[in-house]
Structure 1
Amino acid sequence: MKGQNSITGKRAVALSYNSEVDIAPVIKAKGKGYVAEEIIARAKSNNIPLQEDKSLVELLAQMEVNDRIPADLYGVVAEVFSFVYQLDKSQEGKNS
């Protein structure tokens, strides 16, 4: 997930979710400035979709790496994962 530019600079938070092991999505990386740019660059180089949501990034940035997201954010994070799923599905046909 990609943060937008702000007065303090760019922020980014990377989420992961494996339904076989995780109870909830987990924060895998977070940072601002150069670290955010590196997270975004690595996501792009690995074809990991990015979604901008400044408010969500601000909330998730307050948490620690390896923390599970709290239940009150399940809905909005589910929307992010749905976006990624739909994007993956639309790319499947193009890569065949």
Structure 2
Amino acid sequence: IKGKIKQKMMEASRRRMMQAVPEADVVITNPTHFAVALKYDAEVADAPIVIAKGQDFLAQKIKDEARSFGVEIVENKALARMIYHNVDVGGKIPPELYQAVAEVLAFVYNIREQKGTSGSKRMMA
């Protein structure tokens, strides 16, 4: 019974996480095994927040969801792995990753400003 309860709780958590993906500013990928979705609102938090993360199948689902809602997808292998392994969903990006994440967000915000540009972009790191 405990196993079933835990499984149901994990499924509910996954659903909530996937529902948050459309709100992301960016999804950073590695590109096949990891995906982390970040949201940054300076009025709410002093650092970007991980709103979803996944590995393998779940990473692909996050990328698919991001594509369907026009969320930018940026490939940065090292950064995707670092965030995936070191920050929980709902957690803030740690100070040692501020510079790398700021560069990705600046890249994404620049793309948003360019008219007629949407979909996945690749930023080489």
Please give the TM-score of this superposition, normalised by the length of structure 2.
0.68
Q: In the alignment, which residue of structure 1 is the partner of 2:104? A: 80
Unaligned runs of 5+ in 1: none
- Matched residues in 1 for 2:40 and 2:72: separation? 14
Q: In the alignment, which residue of structure 2 is the partner of 1:3? A: 30
Instruction: Give 2:38's match in structure 1, choosing from 5, 15, 29.
Output: 15
- Matched residues in 1 for 2:103 and 2:57: separation? 27
CA shift for structure 1 position 94: 2.5
CA shift for structure 1 position 34: 1.0
Unaligned runs of 5+ in 2: 1-27, 118-125
- Same amino acid, percent of matched pairs: 35
Q: Secondary structure at the match of 1:69?
A: coil
Q: Secondary structure at the match of 1:78?
A: helix
Q: In the alignment, which residue of structure 2 is the partner of 1:70? A: 94
Q: CA RMSD, aligned part only?
A: 1.2
Relative to total residues, which structure has the larger helix share, 1 or 2? Answer: 2
Query: Is the 1:3–1:13 Cα contact (8 Å) retained in structure 2?
Result: no
Render the CA deviation track for 1:39-62: whole Å, top value 9, x for unaligned: 000110110111000100110011
Higher-Rg structure is 2
**Stretches (4+) displaced over 3 A:** none
